[in-house]
Chains A and B, each alone.
Chain A
Amino acid sequence: MVFLTILSNFNRYQDKYMYKTLSSEDKKVHNEFFIKKIQDIAEKSKDSCSLGLPFFHTCKGENLRNIFVSRKISPNQCKVFKKDLTYLFYGKPAYRVSGDGSTSRDCGRFPVTFIIQLDDSSVSIEQAFPFDTGAFTNGIFEDVCDTEKNPAKYELGSSLEDIRKFITCFYGTDKNYYYCTPNENKDNFKPFSFELQRILRLIQGSSSKRYDNRAYTVELQIANPIMFDSSSIKAILLPADYMGNNDFDSYLYNNNIDAITYTLEQVDPAHMTPHLHALAEEYMKSENIL
């Protein structure tokens, strides 16, 4: 009986949040009331986003060894999208490493964040979304997005230009995006652009739930490896324990990759996310990109 209940809940969950490619009919609707709407508003906007902020990829520290040895960030199998993908976030290190609530001093469990500069020619973008699809499919935004169970309805496109238009549409500038200050243009989305209205609600935090920034940080899915060298990686946020290794220090330095370190404390590694945000913000300000 208990097993059947669990199975039934699991099936309900599976049914509730799952990625499905849109049918041709749905694609037409998506294009008309989502993509085209974003483009129209972006074109009319008096501001224009320059897409000047970097992208962020966060992983557990234990993955850093393979990345260093292979000199690349390789895509991993994604259970939701059933593809090999690397997840990046625009402007903010929104991904949080999973924790079981227990505290740790094991630097392999603590997050390492790569600060990445992308251009269309160097990467193959599979898709971009206006939020963290992992949080979406886990139902974290369900009180705002419940009627839409398929993240495909929120796909922004597969080029950096699509992301630029989205940010121009909702925020106008990178700075407004970073500080989550949207343009007040909800009337533009009425009456049929439901997904855009929901995105605005997520951004404005007009929900009974308290979201973190996964609700309003643009996610990129990359299919090809990202080289761990000066062509893409600008800096890396990591526990100071990794430093002091002759080869690693020299590799970072010779590739002009800044090492922004933090000191390990006996805490839940998932709790380091706000600290990473502060370090990332400090970095972007010091580089005059924020």
Chain B
Amino acid sequence: MIKLEYKLFGFANGGGTAPQFLEPVFNDKNYSLFVQSCTDDSHPDEITEFIRFTDNVEVLENSSEEILTLGCLCLFAVRDVGDRVICGNRKYLAKYLRFNLNSYIDNPYFFKNACEFLKTQRPELKLFSSHSSTLESAVFSHSVQRFCDYEYKEKVFKSHNNTVISRKPQHYFDVFETNEEKTVFSRWLDFAKDDSPRLVKHSKWKDINKNYISLFDDECQVPNNAYVFFLIARSVLNDKEIDIKISEIKCKSSDRVSITKNIDKLTQTLLSENYSIDKFNINKAERRVSSQVASKIYSSLSKKKTSKLEITMLAYFLSLVSKRSGEISSTKDKDYWPTQ
């Protein structure tokens, strides 16, 4: 029996803003349109049927010559920022999403969907655990982005004789603004009083500056690099054995010197693991800061001065400013386009 062939025609746009998942649309030899259906639980990614597609919605055209038949692996597609459409089987799209996951951090709704697609757990998902907390995080993300733009303009105006330059400088977000000694968190809180009053008054984000200060309160030197803090904090939080390790810090020994040694050991292990597989795309100076941050986070968690959720919130904030300053982007690590 000859299997009917269906050519990938394009992608139905759900109508939302990018990034978003798309529905691949196919045409048969008579140019009737179809969508794939996969209903075989034992082979969940195999196409079992092509269903007639009659939606009157925008369809993004496809330029490839992909042809599918029943039994083929179904296609998944995402419209990324910049209208770039990524399409392939589950494995292919998963590879793309996994690599670019950090760049979706400012869109909690898509980030959650992407994590679900990847079946992966990320510390940030704790901030999006309910409908209301997801909405709150989305609003927080919008606010931080506006704050970044505001701060950027302020800095550019101050430093360039009121002439706006088009390219954003890298690393323009230090955690501390040295001349005023205000953290980026307290600057956002000031900004958000007008921009998002409810966040400042009635949300968990209102204490973010206090959380940061309490994390470093007995430290004479504090890290001043948002991107490094985000990378380190995320790696600590990603560690599935973090709770065991933290409890061991105190269990193994009660004297201060031994505790410090244990923390140093944990810090070195974390950093060496991450450097060796080049997860941290940071320079030598930043590596020095990273050691200090990791040690401080381990120490605070073991002393219960701070919680994992508070660290996650700090890291999330700093990931947003890093994203806005261009330090996290899907194009930072060269244009990643995996081959099938």
A residues near B, CB below 8 A?
Answer: 102-109, 235, 239-246, 249-250, 252-254, 256, 258-261, 263-264, 266, 283, 286
Q: Can you list 30 A-B contacts (CB < 8 A)?
A: A104-B55, A104-B57, A105-B12, A106-B55, A106-B56, A106-B57, A109-B55, A235-B131, A240-B16, A241-B15, A242-B16, A244-B17, A245-B17, A249-B135, A249-B138, A253-B136, A253-B138, A253-B139, A253-B196, A254-B196, A256-B198, A258-B131, A258-B132, A259-B132, A259-B134, A260-B131, A261-B109, A261-B134, A266-B35, A286-B130
Contact indicator A105/B131 (Cβ below 8 Å): no
Contact indicator B37/A249 (Cβ below 8 Å): no
Interface residues on B, range: 20 to 34
Contact indicator B142/A250 (Cβ below 8 Å): yes
- For the complex, give the distance between the alpha carbons of A254 and B200 in Å: 11
- Give the interface SS of chain B, mostly helix, strand, loop or mixed: mixed
CB-CB nearest in chain B for A247: B142
A107 interface neighbour in B15, B37, B56, B110, Cβ under 8 Å: B15
Which chain B residues border A243 with CB–CB below 8 Å?
A: 16, 109, 134-135, 138
- For the complex, give the distance between the alpha carbons of A242 and B20 in Å: 11
Which chain A residues border B109 with CB–CB below 8 Å?
A: 240, 243-244, 261
- Contact A266:B23 (CB < 8 A) given known A242-B16, A261-B109: yes
Contact indicator A240/B113 (Cβ below 8 Å): yes
Q: Tell whether B54 is near chain A: CB-to-CB under 8 Å.
A: yes
Q: Tell whether B107 is near chain A: CB-to-CB under 8 Å.
A: yes
Residue from B12, B14, B17, B134 having most chain A Cβ neighbours under 10 A: B14
- For the complex, give the distance between the alpha carbons of A106 and B196 in Å: 32
Contact code string B202-227 (vs A, CB < 8 Å = 1, else 0): 00000000000000000000000000
Contact indicator B20/A266 (Cβ below 8 Å): no
- Contact A244:B139 (CB < 8 A) given known A105-B55, A106-B57: no
Q: Tell whether B51 is near chain A: CB-to-CB under 8 Å.
A: yes
- For the complex, give the distance between the alpha carbons of A240 and B111 in Å: 12
CB-CB nearest in chain A for B138: A249
Contact indicator B14/A105 (Cβ below 8 Å): yes
Give residues of chain B (114-171) contacting chain A, Cβ–Cβ below 8 Å.
130-132, 134-136, 138-139, 142
Which chain B residues border A103 with CB–CB below 8 Å?
A: 35, 51, 53
A241 interface neighbour in B16, B54, B55, B132, Cβ under 8 Å: B16
- Give the interface SS of chain A, mostly helix, strand, loop or mixed: mixed
Which chain B residues border A235 with CB–CB below 8 Å?
A: 131
B15 interface neighbour in A108, A249, A259, A283, Cβ under 8 Å: A108
Contact indicator B131/A259 (Cβ below 8 Å): yes
Contact indicator B198/A254 (Cβ below 8 Å): yes
Which chain A residues border B20 with CB–CB below 8 Å?
A: 241
Closest Cβ of chain B to A231, distance in Å, is: 16
Which chain B residues border A102 with CB–CB below 8 Å?
A: 52, 54-55
- For the complex, give the distance between the alpha carbons of A104 and B57 in Å: 9
Which chain B residues border A252 with CB–CB below 8 Å?
A: 135
Closest Cβ of chain A to B48, distance in Å, is: 13
A264 interface neighbour in B14, B51, B132, B199, Cβ under 8 Å: B14
Contact indicator A105/B17 (Cβ below 8 Å): no
- For the complex, give the distance between the alpha carbons of A260 and B14 in Å: 18
- For the complex, give the distance between the alpha carbons of A2 and B211 in Å: 78
Contact indicator B14/A107 (Cβ below 8 Å): yes
Closest Cβ of chain B to A278, distance in Å, is: 13
- For the complex, give the distance between the alpha carbons of A249 and B107 in Å: 11
Contact indicator B16/A244 (Cβ below 8 Å): yes
A250 interface neighbour in B15, B23, B107, B139, Cβ under 8 Å: B139
Which chain A residues border B135 with CB–CB below 8 Å?
A: 243, 249, 252-253, 258-259
Closest Cβ of chain A to B124, distance in Å, is: 16
CB-CB nearest in chain A for B195: A250
Residue from A235, A243, A245 having most chain B Cβ neighbours under 10 A: A243
CB-CB nearest in chain B for A260: B131
Contact code string B51-88 (vs A, CB < 8 Å = 1, else 0): 11111110000000000000000000000000000000
CB-CB nearest in chain A for B116: A263
Which chain A residues border B131 with CB–CB below 8 Å?
A: 235, 258-261, 283
CB-CB nearest in chain A for B112: A240
Which chain B residues border A109 with CB–CB below 8 Å?
A: 55
- For the complex, give the distance between the alpha carbons of A275 and B287 in Å: 49
CB-CB nearest in chain A for B135: A259
- For the complex, give the distance between the alpha carbons of A106 and B16 in Å: 10
Contact indicator B142/A246 (Cβ below 8 Å): yes
- Contact A249:B51 (CB < 8 A) given known A106-B56, A244-B16: no
- For the complex, give the distance between the alpha carbons of A243 and B139 in Å: 10
Which chain B residues border A106 with CB–CB below 8 Å?
A: 12, 14-15, 55-57
Residue from B17, B56, B134, B138 having most chain A Cβ neighbours under 10 A: B138
- For the complex, give the distance between the alpha carbons of A39 and B34 in Å: 56
Which chain A residues border B56 with CB–CB below 8 Å?
A: 106
Closest Cβ of chain A to B304, distance in Å, is: 29
CB-CB nearest in chain B for A107: B15
Closest Cβ of chain A to B213, distance in Å, is: 26
Which chain A residues border B35 with CB–CB below 8 Å?
A: 103, 105, 266
Other A-B pairs beyond A239-B16, A241-B15, 5, CB < 8 Å: A105-B35, A106-B56, A240-B113, A254-B196, A266-B37
Contact indicator B110/A244 (Cβ below 8 Å): yes
Closest Cβ of chain B to A111, distance in Å, is: 15
Contact indicator B138/A244 (Cβ below 8 Å): yes
Which chain B residues border A259 with CB–CB below 8 Å?
A: 131-132, 134-135
